[in-house]
Structure 1
């Protein structure tokens, strides 16, 4: 999996530098990422999904783990044994059953956010199965795009950056 820089957002000013040649559009009823990816699920994601009435044993795959070096990061979202898709994918509509409450990794995909001091670098995972990457009707990764799609995440990083400084 290749990743490519598409933007940098300055957390103090919200100024954005971006690659104007890159465009993205998540296609409705696609669901390819729900089949192809192993999704990490954070504790915060688990709590939020359990609040919907699900039991963690229904959706957390405790046999799959994500690590950075030797540091445990998280477990994975379960896949259905009969078709290999995420347990939350509605196979008839190809839509996520918990879309508004989906794990952070699902929400960010295909983007990867990497914080460096007061800057957040944004990369795209150039997975060949994702038809939304460089889609002709896609939109560039502008300040407006980032704040609309990820404003709460960016604001959370901004708060943490201010708290670390002050």
Structure 2
């Protein structure tokens, strides 16, 4: 995976350093990531989607697995057999049927968060199919952008830093 640094969040102070030359805008009704990516789905994601009334067998691909080294991380989100799109992507509108409850990997894409002690580095995956990367109408990955889009994720990491004293 080729990636590019776009920001660093200091978890203790919430100070953010960012690359002002990079901009991002999720292009509405694009859906390319829903076709192109294999999405890992965490146990928390599965429970959240099941609360919507879906059965895990409808959306978890138990044959595709994600590992880090020899450690099992998760299964994948299921794809439709007729077009390879995510099972939750409406093929007509290209909108996610569970958008407000989508898996964390979907929420984060195309960004990758990497924690190093009390800092969180933010990278963008350099996927050629994503039209939002360096979109002319995009916005830089500033503190405001990060807190608006990922405030809950950042707060979870901040709590872990405070509780473990990293």
TM-score by length of 2: 0.99
Structure 1 CA distance, aligned partners of 2:128 and 2:2? 10
The answer for the alignment partner of 2:137 in structure 1 is 137
Structure 2 matches for 1:41-80, cutoff 5 A?
Answer: 41-80=41-80
Structure 1 CA distance, aligned partners of 2:139 and 2:91? 28
Shift of 1:165: 1.4
Residue deviations 1:81-102 (CA, integer Å, cap 9, x gap)? 0000000000111000000000
1:25 aligns with 2:34: no
SS at match of 2:28: coil
Structure 1 CA distance, aligned partners of 2:4 and 2:28? 24
Please give the root-mean-square deviation of Cα atoms over the aligned residues, in Å.
0.8
Residue deviations 1:14-45 (CA, integer Å, cap 9, x gap)? 00001100000001000000000000000000
The answer for the alignment partner of 2:164 in structure 1 is 164
The answer for the alignment partner of 1:149 in structure 2 is 149
Structure 1 CA distance, aligned partners of 2:43 and 2:5? 28
Shift of 1:126: 0.7
SS at match of 1:24: coil
Which aligned runs of 4 or more in structure 1 are off by greater than 4 angstroms? none
Shift of 1:2: 1.3
The answer for the alignment partner of 1:98 in structure 2 is 98
Structure 2 matches for 1:81-96, cutoff 5 A?
Answer: 81-96=81-96
Shift of 1:147: 0.2
- Unaligned runs of 5+ residues in structure 2 are none
Structure 1 CA distance, aligned partners of 2:2 and 2:162? 32
Shift of 1:78: 0.2
